[in-house]
Amino acid sequence: MPTDLLQEDEARYLMHTYARWPVSIVRGRGCKVYDLEGREYLDFVGGIAVNLLGYSHPDLVAAIQKQAQQLLHASNLYYTEPQVKLAKTLVDHSFADKVFFGNSGAEANEAAIKLARRYAHLKYGPDRFEIVTMQQSFHGRTMATLTATGQEKVQKGFEPLLPGFTYVPFNDLAAVERALSPATAAVLLEPVQGEGGVRVADRAYLQRLRELCRQRDILLIFDEIQTGMGRTGTLFAYEQLGVAPDIMTLAKGLGGGVPIGACLATDPVAAAFTPGTHASTFGGNPLACAAALAVFEVLLEGKVLEQGRRMGEYLAKGLKDIEERLPVVKEARGLGLLQGLELTIDGKPVAADCLARGLLINCTAERVLRFIPPLIIAQREIDRLLETLSTVLSKRV
C-alpha cells in the first residue's frame, strides 16, 4: 500500500496521537531503514533510543526466533528461565539487588513511584508520600508518570493531576533542599534529560543530592530509560557520574526493539513490594527477556559498547565544531550517543530538511536537535550527518 493511502487509512482508523513524518518504514539493516517506496534513510533516531544494536542484528534476531519457537508467554504465576537469568544479569552489572519487569518505560516508572511510596509508608507512615521531580523532565504518559513529568504541555487537559509531586529546576540543589519536607519520600530525575532538551546533570550536583537524600533517608530514583544500556558510554549513566541511586528504571534499549521495562532497587527498598502489591501480566515474559539477554550479551562482549563510547566522543566533537562555526547553533551538549544541538531557530524545519536528504533526526523542546543513533553507528555515517547538518544549517545563517 503506497504511503499516501496508508496516511488516509491511518487518519481514518487510528487515534490521532502522533505527529508523523510522511514516511512508511518497512525494513531496516544496520543503521539504515527503507521506506515503502524503496528510499534509504540513515537513522539517527533509532526508535528514540530503542534500536540499540541497529536493525536485524543477527544475535538479537536469532534469540527472538529461538524463544518464539520454545515459549512465547507464560503467566507470572510460574517461573521462566529467561526472566530469572535477565534479572541476575542486571543485578550482577549494577548497584541493584532486585528487579521488577514491566512492558515499557512508563510502566517501569510507575513501579518506581509505587515502590518509593510503599517503602516510605511502611517505614514512616502514610504522611510521607511526596516525590520531588525536575522541571523539563519526562517520565511517561500514564497518569502518575505524566504527573511526575515536569512539563505543562504533557499534563495540559488531564487535570486534576495526582497529588504528591513537586517540581524544581534541574541542576539546582538549593531548590531541591527548599522543596524537601517531612512528607518527601523520594527525588526522581534523569541523569540526562532527553525529551527535555538533552541536558546533562552536573556531577557535583548529583553527588550532593545523593548525600542529601542519604542524610534524610529519602530515596533517590534515576530514570535511566533513555540513558541506560550503554547509551552514554557506560552500561548505565550513573556509573560515570559517580552516584548510585536507590531505584533505577530501564526500558528503550533494554530489549533492542522488543517492549520491556525494568525497575531495579536495593534489597531494603525492594522488600516493600510483596506478593499482591504490584504486578504486570506481560512484564518479563520469556520473549522480551530472551531479547534483552541477547542485547546484554552483545554489550558485555565489549565491542559494541566501546564502539558506542568512541562514536559518542566523535559525534560530540563534530557537533561542537558546528556550534563554533554557525551562529544559528546556541549550544552542543550531551553524553555518549545521546547528543543535542540547541538552535536559535525552530528545529522542526531543519529536521524536515534532513529527512528530505535521507537523514532521520529528532527535534525536541522545539529548538533542540537530538541524536540517538544505534551504538553500532560508524564514523563515516557520523561524517554524513555532520556534513548534512552543516549544509542545512548554513542555509539558515
Active-site residue (options: 95, 129, 222, 223) = 223
Q: Are 145 and 138 in contact (CB under 8 A)?
A: no
Which residue is it, cell 559518542? 312
Alpha-carbon span 173 to 57, nearest angstrom: 42
Active-site residue (options: 43, 101, 165, 252) = 252
Q: Which residues of 70-86 are buried (b: 16+ CB within 10 A; e: fewer)?
A: eeeeeeeeeebebbeeb
Q: What are the CA-CA distances from residue 267 to residues 95, 107, 255, 273 (Å)? A: 10, 20, 24, 10
DSSP output for 101-163: EESSHHHHHHHHHHHHHHHHHHHH-TT--EEEEEBT----SSHHHHHHSB-HHHHTTSPSPPS
Task: Please indicate whether residue 4 is annotated as part of the active site.
Answer: no
Task: Please indicate whether residue 252 is annotated as part of the active site.
Answer: yes
Contacts of 13 (CB under 8 A, 6+ apart): none
DSSP output for 293-325: HHHHHHHHHSHHHHHHHHHHHHHHHHHHHHHHH
DSSP helix/strand/coil, 67: helix
- The total of other beta-carbon atoms located within 10 Å of residue 149's CB is 26
Which residue is it, cell 515536569? 150
Residue positions counted in the chain: 397
Alpha-carbon span 29 to 46, nearest angstrom: 12
DSSP output for 323-376: HHH-TTEEEEEEETTEEEEEESS-SHHHHHHHHHTTEE-EEETTTEEEE---TT
Q: Which of 294, 278, 292, 279 is nearest to 87 (CA)?
A: 292
Alpha-carbon span 374 to 253, nearest angstrom: 9
Write out the three cell numbers for 288.
Answer: 522480551
Terminal-to-terminal C-alpha distance of the chain = 40
Task: Please indicate whether residue 346 is annotated as part of the active site.
Answer: no
Active-site residue (options: 138, 222, 273, 296) = 138
- The total of other beta-carbon atoms located within 10 Å of residue 356's CB is 9
Q: Active-site residue numbers? A: 138, 223, 252
